[in-house]
């Protein structure tokens, strides 16, 4: 036996995960993870890939042939999408209103893209007219937007109009749905979106490590007509898809058990029904928002129509200690929330209601725990009123 310190993972705590991901997992997903590994070229694994692919199409709301899952996280899917869609010299427009949209700029520039940023105030969404003005004055080939900007809790709710504008000007539209797909209504084909990616550990409640994406006809044309090879061999979708389609050409060792987990997560989505799942997220968020406001706390996103149900940003009240509060939530209640990112660091908390975690008992535990902790810090808030307001929403017929 070595002297290396040994952490007993049998006793890894079962946290209540209310950060901006990962979310809590369903027991069936854990069970799927622990099934025997088969070879990545085993006919059984190909069946798993096929069923996962079919279910991903339903989840994305698409019939796109190029729909698959990469062995990476949401950031990897962002990178994969951008390296495939951008060639050196291409003009790219990024709607920037938070940390994740800002990262799109960083990656697009590394692809050699000439990036223009639509700098939107944090807490606001990109307006179609703003995109139109940019497209009229610049030969932009790709527009990049984040559906749920997890750093602010804003939902980009005018994607269909923006897609129309993009196509009228010959630009493609790429959308990040890492924090929204499976939790918020989304329709790739109906909204005519060209490329969409997501992650596993947020609204799908599958562990981090597998990231789905889908590319439509226009995006496929871009891949076909590229004059330069995709700078990343690993993320070159023209190569990866040959592993996912009937050619079955080895590209990488498929993450077998993560694909089982993804498939089980997608079956759970299907059993619940997408519409019912969206409604569950909306209902839990409504209770959380009512509770926080009744406590006397302020939501960072002022326009209710722009509040994303899957992640809520709440302003840290005067007199409250950011780090101590989050530490107390974790240590006393086993409950994780997220701290502020970027401009909201030290000023806001990010509370996730995603996948399995978008339920009333998470809302009530968080409000009750937060109320007690803040009162103990001498911050005057109405803890009881918060619980009452949230309870009233949860008890009302939907
Ligand atoms: C979480 C998140 C990502 C990054 O995903 P990882 O799985 O952490 O790599 C990207 N975009 C958005 C909007 C996110 O919320």
Predicted TM-score (pTM) of the model is: 0.97
Instruction: Please name the fold of domain 274-395.
Output: 3.90.1150
Candidates 251, 310, 255; CA nearest to 73 is: 255
Nearest CA to ligand 1 atom 2: 178
Q: How many CB atoms lie within 10 A of CB 34?
A: 9
Nearest CA to ligand 1 atom 5: 74
17, 23, 74, 262: residue to mutate for ligand 1 pocket, most atoms within 8 A of CB: 74
Residue 217 token pair: 């006809």
Sheet of 348-352: strand order equals 311-315, 348-352, 338-339
| pLDDT number for residue 8 | 81
Cis geometry, peptide bond prior to residue 22 (ω within 30 degrees of 0): yes
Q: Spell out the domain ranges in the chain.
A: 27-270, 274-395
| pLDDT number for residue 11 | 78
CB-count burial class (<10 Å; 0-12, 13-18, 19+) for 391: middle
Distance of alpha carbon 366 from alpha carbon 290, whole angstroms: 13
Instruction: Please name the fold of domain 27-270.
Output: 3.40.640
pLDDT digits (tens, 9 = 90+) for 33-78: 999 999 999 999 999 999 999 999 999 999 999 999 999 999 999 9
The ligand 1 site (C-beta within 6 Å) comprises 20-21, 73-75, 78, 100, 146, 148, 150, 176, 178-179, 199, 208
For the chain, what is the mean pLDDT? 97
Total residue count of the chain as it appears in this document: 398
Q: How far is the CA of 294 from the centre of ligand 1 (A)?
A: 30
Distance of alpha carbon 322 from alpha carbon 319, whole angstroms: 9
Asked if the model's pLDDT at residue 284 lies above 90, the reply is yes
Q: How far is the CA of 129 from the centre of ligand 1 (A)?
A: 27
Mean pLDDT of 111-131: 96
Nearest CA to ligand 1 atom 8: 74
């Amino acid at each position: 036996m070595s002297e290396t310190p040994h952490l007993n993972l049998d006793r890894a705590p079962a946290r209540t995960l209310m950060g901006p991901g990962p979310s809590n997992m369903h027991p069936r997903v854990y069970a799927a993870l622990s099934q025997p590994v088969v070879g990545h070229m085993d006919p059984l694994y190909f069946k798993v890939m096929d069923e996962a692919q079919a279910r991903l199409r339903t989840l994305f709301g698409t019939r796109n042939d190029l729909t698959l899952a990469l062995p990476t996280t949401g950031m990897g899917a962002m990178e994969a999408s951008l390296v495939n869609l951008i060639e050196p010299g291409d003009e790219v427009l990024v709607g920037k209103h938070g940390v994740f949209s800002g990262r799109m700029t960083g990656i697009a520039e590394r692809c050699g893209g000439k990036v223009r940023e639509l700098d939107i105030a944090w807490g606001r969404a990109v307006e179609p007219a703003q995109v139109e003005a940019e497209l009229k004055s610049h030969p932009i080939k790709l527009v990049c937007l984040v559906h749920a900007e997890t750093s602010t809790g804003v939902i980009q709710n005018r994607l269909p109009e923006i897609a129309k504008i993009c196509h009228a000007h010959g630009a493609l539209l790429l959308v990040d749905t890492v924090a929204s797909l499976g939790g918020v209504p989304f329709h790739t084909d109906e909204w005519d979106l060209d490329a969409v990616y997501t992650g596993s550990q947020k609204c799908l409640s599958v562990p981090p490590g597998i990231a789905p994406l889908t590319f439509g006809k226009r995006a496929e044309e871009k891949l076909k007509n590229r004059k330069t090879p995709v700078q990343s061999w690993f993320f070159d979708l023209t190569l990866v898809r040959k592993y996912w389609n009937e050619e079955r050409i080895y590209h990488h060792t498929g993450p077998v058990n993560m694909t089982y987990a993804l498939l089980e997560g997608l079956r759970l989505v299907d059993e619940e029904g997408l519409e019912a799942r969206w409604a569950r997220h909306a209902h839990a968020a409504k209770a959380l928002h009512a509770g926080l406001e009744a406590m006397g706390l302020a939501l960072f996103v002022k326009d209710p129509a722009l509040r994303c149900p899957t992640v809520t940003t709440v302003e840290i009240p005067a007199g409250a200690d950011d780090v101590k509060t989050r530490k107390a939530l974790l240590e006393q209640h086993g409950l994780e929330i997220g701290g502020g990112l970027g401009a909201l660091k030290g000023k806001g908390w990010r509370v996730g209601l995603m996948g399995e975690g978008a339920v009333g008992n998470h809302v009530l535990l968080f409000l009750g725990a937060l109320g007690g902790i803040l009162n103990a810090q001498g911050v005057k808030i109405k803890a009881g009123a918060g619980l009452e307001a949230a309870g009233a929403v949860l008890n009302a017929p939907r």
